[in-house]
Chain A
Amino acid sequence: MTEQIDKALQREYEAGFVSDIESDTFEPGLNEDIIRRISSMKQEPEWMLEWRLKAFRNWLEMEEPDWAHVDYPKIDFQAISYYSAPKSMKDKPKSLDEVDPELLKTYEKLGIPLHEQMMLAGVAVDAVFDSVSVVTTFREKLEEAGVIFMPISEAVHKHPELVQKYLGSVVPQKDNYYAALNCAVFTDGSFVYIPKGTKCPMELSTYFRINEQNTGQFERTLIIADEGSYVSYLEGCTAPQRDENQLHAAVVELVAMDDAEIKYSTVQNWYPGDEEGRGGIYNFVTKRGLCHTNAKISWTQVETGSAVTWKYPSCVLKGDNSVGEFYSVALTRGCQQADTGTKMIHLGKNTRSTIISKGISAGRSNNSYRGLVRMNSSAKGARNFTQCDSLLIGDQCGAHTFPYVESRNPSAIVEHEATTSKVSDDQMFLCQQRGLDPEKAVSMIVNGFCKEVFKELPMEFAVEAGKLLEISLEGSVG
């Protein structure tokens, strides 16, 4: 039975191909000179370079954290290349017609056609390839609404006042080891600004692709939703199948001003490594949102990829009545390890947060939920509800929950529920007895388990996520 499910879980990593694209890639190594070169590649203003160098100096003083329930060999930061861009991007193509067709093909193969007429209606895409943004679609249409959606490297030039004001305002440079590293070497990512009272007319999304070998990807995303505005944003990620591990250390900062709402969804499908745990992406990510009065930030993540995931999308509920939400599905199989969860920091009065975490572990994988709910002394009447469910497939995997609660206000209420269940023989047999093959049965049971989270994803992507799980779970059954 277990064997049957295990087989059903074996999958091909469909995004594992390598694109044949000539790139300008820095030699491996990390020092101030490299940072200066990244900055000059991007023709950055002096303040940006200074900011990077400051972060780098901080980083040198910091230690790699080891508290997560994950195990991987020490990373040699000098063996990584910190910049790689397709040669064809050097002259900054002005329109889609000037973009290297091989690049466009890569995205098409991944199911993200970048020609606007071919795209999902109502979704604008920023496509980031290794260290640069290739193209951002629907920009004119968004500009009409006053929405700014562009690569952050471009925003540094075009909207320096916004970038300078908000970059590092939610995740300080010294927040943690990987965040500090990101500040020093980040290459590209998306920048979003939604003006006051504006509902962003379409879904925004960024698609990250690592292609080049031995390069790290350090993306940086900054989203600012001004008073009373609304935006729904989605990020997706994939990488080729390689035997070496690759580092991905991103920072995402969200700012929701008074009465604004940001819905941030992630479908993470970095290469997870092979059955034996060879290769795969180290996904060390810092994501945090700041909520002002009556604002709402909702994180939804579907994590199926990466060899090691270390990620805690968080909300700082600063303003009174602000709301934070975290909905997560993390699937680990083979030798994957995930340590993921959230932090809800309640500062304002009557702030509310909801955490729904679904961990699915199969094979020899390890899946941990780690969550902090902090009720500060100022958080009068604040509430949190946490539900953490683990689903085990087979008996060689691990599921762990590490909930931390700190309450300094007696009027705050924190509720926590946790369950652990298995895909049972009974369930499998019921499905098969009704005519479903084991693969379909497992994916249906797992999808059912994740339902509460999937329903939080934007429509177009809920279907995608369901399919992704299905692909993740499909394979031949002997």
Chain B
Amino acid sequence: MLSIKNLHASVEDKQILKGLDLEIKPGEVHAIMGPNGAGKSTMGYVLSGREGYSVEEGSVTLDGTDLLELEAEERARAGLFLAFQYPVEIPGVSNLEFLKAAVDAQREARGEEAVSSKDFLKMAREACKQVHLPAEFLKRGVNEGFSGGEKKRNEIMQMLLLQPKLCILDESDSGLDIDALQVVAEGVNSQRSPDRSFVVVTHYQRLLDYIKPDYVHVLSEGKIVKSGDASLAQELEDQGYAWLKEQRAADAEQSA
């Protein structure tokens, strides 16, 4: 599904990703953990083609397509979805209007016909229900005045409607109350399927209790420094990242 090889990327002339490797097969859930400032969000932006991020080295393919060649909107249409760590507001543009435009644009790119407004409204209402957002949220401006938790649920709602192939969830659990955490996790779990993969960026084991990852990776200083199964998350939760640093310092000494 997704193959990242030796990815080096920078923003504002600052090197952030320094040789990132990651292989994700269809149907897999990969959790990415790592200290603040490690480059997790940057990874999401680079993969989804955000303006201002430049790739110096490496390759990224999604189902064999060279992602780095594509514009951001083309990557989205190819099935890549990013749930934002900090969802932004678009005042005056209703959630419904925004989502309909997004779904239509993606369908058009696939050569499918636009959904009728009536059918779309039904789908959108259903998606709202799934993430426990009242249907009124469809009428409100995109994220306009939403609480932190509502914004996060709104991101998942968008994912449900867009039905992407690869979902990158950047801290979709932060700022959520316990019930909302479960709602978000259920939203994700409902979408798990043999041909859909997830990259779940999180700081907490808690989310991974609900969304069971196949792999857990630690991203630190721009690359994956450790990978393991779900138990690695527990280990990190118990010990923090300090031991990682020590280990790396020791490694460095050895190779010197």
A interface with B by C-beta (< 8 Å): 1, 4, 424-438, 440, 444-445, 447-452
Contact = CB atoms under 8 A, between A and B. Distances in A.
Interface in B53-106: 71-73, 76-77, 81-82, 84, 87-93, 97-99, 101-102, 105-106
Contact of A435 (B89, B92, B102, B142): B102
A238 B161 CA distance: 42
Contacts of B88: 424, 426-427, 430
- Among A424, A425, A426, A431, the most chain B Cβ lie within 10 Å of the Cβ of A431
Contacts of A1: 51-52
Given A428-B51, A431-B102, A434-B76, 10 more contacts: A425-B52, A431-B98, A432-B76, A433-B81, A436-B102, A444-B93, A444-B98, A448-B90, A448-B91, A448-B93
Interface residues on B, range: 20 to 34
Interface in B93-121: 93, 97-99, 101-102, 105-106, 109
Contacts of A425: 51-52
20 contacts: A4-B51, A427-B89, A430-B90, A430-B142, A432-B49, A432-B71, A433-B72, A433-B81, A434-B162, A435-B102, A435-B106, A436-B73, A436-B105, A437-B105, A444-B90, A444-B97, A444-B98, A448-B91, A448-B141, A451-B92
A54 to B, nearest CB: 48
A452 B106 contact: no
A429 B87 CA distance: 11
B92 A452 contact: yes
A434 B88 CA distance: 13
Contacts of B90: 427, 430-431, 444-445, 448
A99 B44 CA distance: 63
B93 A447 contact: yes
B48 interface: yes
Contacts, number: 80
B152 to A, nearest CB: 14
A434 B158 contact: yes
Interface string B229-243: 000000000000000
Contacts of A433: 48, 50, 72-73, 76, 81-82
B102 to A, nearest CB: 4
Interface of A, secondary structure class, is helix
Contacts of A449: 91-92
A377 B159 CA distance: 59
Contacts of B81: 433
Given A448-B91, A449-B92, A435 B52 contact: no
Contacts of B142: 430, 448
B44 to A, nearest CB: 10
Contacts of B91: 448-449
A104 B89 CA distance: 46
Nearest to B45: A429
Contacts of B109: 435
A435 B51 contact: no
Contacts of A428: 51
A435 B98 contact: no
- Among B49, B84, B98, the most chain A Cβ lie within 10 Å of the Cβ of B98
A4 B77 CA distance: 19
Contacts of B72: 429, 432-433
A427 B72 CA distance: 13
A1 B81 CA distance: 21
Given A426-B88, A427-B88, A447-B92, A434 B102 contact: yes
A436 B49 CA distance: 13
Interface string B133-146: 00000000110000
A436 B142 CA distance: 15
Contacts of A438: 73
A432 B53 CA distance: 15
Nearest to A441: B73
A108 B76 CA distance: 40
A436 B52 CA distance: 18
Contacts of A435: 73, 76-77, 102, 105-106, 109, 162
Contacts of A431: 90, 98, 102
B95 to A, nearest CB: 11
A436 to B, nearest CB: 5
A452 B52 CA distance: 33
Nearest to B71: A432
A435 B48 CA distance: 11
Given A432-B73, A434-B162, A444 B52 contact: no
